[in-house]
Amino acid sequence: AQSVSQHNHHVILSEAASLELGCNYSYGGTVNLFWYVQYPGQHLQLLLKYFSGDPLVKGIKGFEAEFIKSKFSFNLRKPSVQWSDTAEYFCAVNANDKIIFGKGTRLHILP
């Protein structure tokens, strides 16, 4: 069965630091990949998505992610984080017509 692994459960960074959150998935077929964000007290919203084409995907708020097929990875990056990026981040894969989520990474940015 398909699964999604997020390596970091809790990340603490200072403002302006660079961010990389790891995500690996297991599925042998064609996948669509997503990163979702959940700000405190808010519902899930889409940061970015990959379906095909350029493996480097740019999303909202300066986030980007790179799909590396050989590594089954879809890591999320941001060169310089802000305090407002404090949130929980979920990697997800759409395979077999259903979306499976990773366990999430709680990101805390220190002002």
Partner 1 sequence: SAVISQKPSRDICQRGTSLTIQCQVDSQVTMMFWYRQQPGQSLTLIATANQGSEATYESGFVIDKFPISRPNLTFSTLTVSNMSPEDSSIYLCSVDRVATEAFFGQGTRLTVV
Which residues form the interface with partner 1 (CB under 8 A)? 32, 34, 43-44, 46, 49, 51, 90, 92, 94, 97-104
Of 87 and 92, which has the nearer Cβ to partner 1? 92
Phi, psi of 15 (to 5 degrees): -55, 145
97: left (phi over 0), alpha (psi -120 to 50) or beta: left
58 exposure class (CB count in 10 Å sphere: 0-12, 13-18, 19+): exposed
Closest distance of CB 88 from partner 1, Å: 9
Of 27 and 101, which has the nearer Cβ to partner 1? 101
User: Rounded to an integer, what distance in angstroms lies between the CA atom of residue 69 and that of residue 62?
Assistant: 23
Of 30 and 111, which has the nearer Cβ to partner 1? 30
Closest distance of CB 35 from partner 1, Å: 11
